[in-house]
Amino acid sequence: MINKNKKSIKLLDCTLRDGGYYNNWDFDNYLIKKYIKEIEKSNIKDIEIGFRFFDQNYFLGALAYSTDEFLNKLKISKKINICVMVNSSDIINNKKKIKYLFSQKKNSKVSTIRFASHFRELKFIVPYLKQAKKLNYKIIVNLMQSNDRSETEIKEAILILQKAGCVSVIYFADSLGKMTPKEIAKLFTSAKKYWKKDLGIHTHDNKGLALQNTIEAINNGAKWVDATILGMGRGAGNVQTEILLAELISKQNIKYKLEPIYRLSEDLFLDLKNKYKWGKSLNYYLAAENNIHPTYIQTLENDTRYSKQNIYDAINFLKK
């Protein structure tokens, strides 16, 4: 249960970004427009609409790139803050850098850039965080695979981002879906010693703990929380927007409206779930327990060459 005394939080719906791992970010234009319309009605103010990848030599849908040209074709209320994610590894390894991907904020519907970074990448990504900030975007850093981190590792990561001087929010991502509420509490207790700005949490549901972990993070100081409609996201998926929203409406003084999200979840996104079949399973649970990235499991399950026994054997091999 969420502590009623906690300050109001910001729900960042990242359905189209995280959910794109199932359809290569190739969402139907009708669905995108309907999603934006219902999100506005729900009073959710922040959405992560997609990635901004560099050009690829194979097909990906429009929300893999989320270009300004594409976003300008969409009717998006100024009340909604648009975020896009970039992979730090792409920036580090590509000569074209930030200015190839982003223009000045005043020329874009995007207001926030979220850098998905491994701990080992932070010292290399700082110059690019500063470049993005000079373009006047709000900067969020998503620390991937935050499970099993010592307080020393957390402190070192935060000190790097503090020194950068341009980051507004640090997110901890349970990328493997392995974390428990106890570990979440410990993680945020450590982080708050060194970071006085906003903290966020991004959970995955491999062990069926996405909602519990999100609530635990809120009760331990998280102001930003990620969610996706029907949990649509890589592997086992995420905490469900509609469930978390119902919890926030009940326990927080936040004027969210559940009905528009209910319509999305029970209509368009239910059809997608029936098609792509994301969600927690024994395979994803075993992957989380053995530090196996959910992408491996998703790839195996979507490949008709592999039987259930083949997948089970692969998990037993990979855990070694």
Q: 225 is written with which tokens?
A: 């929380």
Q: 25 is written with which tokens?
A: 């970010």
Rounded to an integer, what distance in angstroms lies between the CA atom of residue 300 and that of residue 303? 5
5 domain residue, yes or no: no
Residues 175 and 294 in one domain: no
Instruction: Check the CA dihedral 56-57-59-62 and report its sign.
Output: positive
pLDDT at residue 286 in the model: 80
pLDDT at residue 311 in the model: 81
Residues 205 and 108 in one domain: yes
Say what percent of the chain tops pLDDT 90. Answer: 79
pLDDT at residue 116 in the model: 98
What's the whole-number mean pLDDT along residues 255-281?
Answer: 92
User: Is a pLDDT exceeding 90 seen at residue 6?
Assistant: no
Q: Amino acid identity of 187?
A: L
Residues 252 and 314 in one domain: no
Instruction: Note whether 12 and 47 are within 8 A (CB).
Output: yes
Q: 304 is written with which tokens?
A: 């008709």
Q: Which residue has the higher pLDDT, 319 or 116?
A: 116
3 domain residue, yes or no: no
Say what percent of the chain tops pLDDT 70. Answer: 97
307 domain residue, yes or no: yes
Q: 150 is written with which tokens?
A: 């010592």
pLDDT at residue 30 in the model: 96
pLDDT at residue 280 in the model: 83
Instruction: Note whether 51 and 64 are within 8 A (CB).
Output: yes
pLDDT at residue 253 in the model: 57
User: Is a pLDDT exceeding 70 seen at residue 252?
Assistant: no
pTM: 0.92
Q: 17 is written with which tokens?
A: 């970004």
In sequence order, what DSSP letters do the residues of 206-264 get, joined into one string? TTS-HHHHHHHHHHTT--EEEEBGGG-SSTT-B-BHHHHHHHHHHHSS----HHHHHHH
What's the whole-number mean pLDDT along residues 2-21?
Answer: 85
User: Is a pLDDT exceeding 70 seen at residue 4?
Assistant: no
Residues 249 and 289 in one domain: no
Residues 258 and 286 in one domain: no
Q: Which of 149-153, 264-268, 278-282 has the lowest mean pLDDT?
A: 278-282
pLDDT at residue 300 in the model: 84
4 domain residue, yes or no: no
Q: 253 is written with which tokens?
A: 């003084």
2 domain residue, yes or no: no
Q: Which residue(s) pair with 202 in the sheet?
A: 173
CATH number at residue 246: 3.20.20.70
User: Is a pLDDT exceeding 90 seen at residue 292?
Assistant: no
What's the whole-number mean pLDDT along residues 18-31?
Answer: 97
Residues 253 and 286 in one domain: no
- Which own/partner pairs from 227-230 qualify as long-range (CB within 8 Å, at least 24 positions apart)? 227/11, 227/12, 227/13, 227/14, 228/13, 228/14, 228/15, 228/18, 228/19, 229/13, 229/15, 229/19, 229/35, 229/261, 229/264, 229/265, 229/269, 230/265, 230/269, 230/270, 230/272, 230/273
Q: Which residue has the higher pLDDT, 313 or 252?
A: 313
In sequence order, what DSSP letters do the residues of 138-169 get, joined into one string? EEEEEE---TT--HHHHHHHHHHHHHHT---E
Residues 264 and 298 in one domain: no
pLDDT one-digit tens code per residue, 81-102:
999 999 999 999 888 889 999 9
Residues 121 and 258 in one domain: yes
Q: Amino acid identity of 74?
A: L
Residues 190 and 313 in one domain: no
Residues 165 and 307 in one domain: no
41 domain residue, yes or no: yes
94 domain residue, yes or no: yes
Residues 52 and 126 in one domain: yes
pLDDT at residue 109 in the model: 98
Give me the number of domains the chain comprises.
2
Q: Are strands 10-13 and 169-173 parallel, antiparallel or unpaired?
A: unpaired
User: Is a pLDDT exceeding 80 seen at residue 27?
Assistant: yes
- Provide the pLDDT confidence category of residue 281 given band limits of 50, 70 and 90: confident
User: Is a pLDDT exceeding 90 seen at residue 51?
Assistant: yes
| Cα 118 to the center of its chain, rounded Å | 14
* Total count of residues recorded for the chain: 320
135 domain residue, yes or no: yes
Residues 56 and 27 in one domain: yes
What's the whole-number mean pLDDT along residues 294-308?
Answer: 84
pLDDT at residue 317 in the model: 86
Domain, as residue range, for 307: 282-318
